[in-house]
Amino acid sequence: MSTEAVKEVERKVRDHFDDDAERFDSIYKTKKGIFARFVDDYWRGVVQKRLEVNVEKLEPLTGKSVLDVGCGSGRFCFEFAKHGATHILGVDFAPAMINIANGLAKEMGVDKECEFRVGAFPEVVTGETFDYSTANGFFDYIENPVSIISAMREMTKEKMILSFPKAFEWRVPVRRLRFWMKGTPLFLYTKKQTENILQKAGVENYEWINLDRDYLIVAHLK
Ligand SMILES: C[S@@+](CC[C@H](N)C(=O)[O-])C[C@H]1O[C@@H](n2cnc3c(N)ncnc32)[C@H](O)[C@@H]1O
């Protein structure tokens, strides 16, 4: 794919999440109507499950630094801070997502621990290293995961958590249709494709978790 075509994919994804930021963050809210609760639990239940498994797999977080790539409204970053992480950098190229993240960090009293940056990964992070890095619900929108994962690996000392949406799963046809109608690119992965991507990115030692509509990879780097 040409550089222009990649930039076009990025622009479409960024605009999608800039418009969709409030609705996306509402998945994490506990106060909502019966219909919204049903859809979020049944259709998008993986979003909350990913958060729980990330914390479980990264514990102990006390004193750790974490990079969260495609952090969205910052929900993972807040949870890492609440579990003792002392520096969390959340990166997202949708400004509306970062606005929500900054507001919520203040509300929750974790704004000292959590720093948020607007920009495309990896360009927006240079010369920094972290104990852990995470990218959840992110590779769904990435044309070239290998270069992104390689960059994350370079910046990470201990563990990386990466989610990949399954290509074959009962919700896929409707999900594909929804994104196609909105004109937003969507990338889905088979088990084999995910294994190849990890191998090309130099990730060798990892746990493979079948989590609802995702494969969740917990990579051990030392
Ligand atoms: C589905 S949201 C997931 C947010 C968060 N990780 C979560 O699970 O709550 C995906 C996010 O990735 C961001 N994103 C996609 N590609 C990106 C890129 N190349 N650089 C930075 N952010 C990106 C989007 O703007 C969006 O907010």
pLDDT tens string, the chain, 222 residues long: the values are: 566 766 889 999 999 999 999 999 998 887 767 667 666 566 667 888 999 999 999 999 999 999 999 999 999 999 999 999 999 999 999 999 999 999 999 999 999 999 999 999 999 999 999 999 999 999 999 999 999 999 999 999 999 999 999 999 988 899 999 999 999 999 999 999 999 999 999 999 999 999 999 999 999 998
Give me the pLDDT at residue 2, please.
Answer: 64
- What pairing do the DSSP bridges indicate for beta strands 130-135 and 114-118? unpaired
> Whole-prediction pTM value?
0.94
Measured between alpha carbons, how far is 175 from 178 in angstroms, rounded to an integer?
5
Q: What is the pLDDT of residue 38?
A: 64
| CA 131 to each of CA 180, 188, 189, 220: distance values in angstroms, whole numbers, following the listed order | 37, 28, 27, 11
Ligand 1 site residues (CB inside 6 A) read 10, 13-14, 17, 47, 70-72, 75-76, 91-94, 97, 120-121, 136-138, 141
- Please tell me the predicted confidence (pLDDT) of residue 37: 67
* Tokens (6 digits) for 189: 């992965």
pLDDT computed for residue 27 by the predictor: 87
Which residue has its alpha carbon closest to ligand 1 atom 23?
A: 70
**pLDDT attached to residue 29:** 81
Cα 163 to ligand 1 centre (Å): 12
Most ligand 1 atoms within 8 A of CB, residue of 6, 7, 12, 17 to mutate = 17
Residue nearest atom 22 of ligand 1, based on CA coordinates = 92
pLDDT confidence of residue 4: 73
Task: Report pLDDT for 41.
Answer: 65
pLDDT of residue 30: 75
| CB 107 within 8 Å of CB 81 | no
Whole-number Å distance, alpha carbon 92 to ligand 1 midpoint, is: 6
Residue with tokens 């409707």: 174
Residue with tokens 């890095």: 133
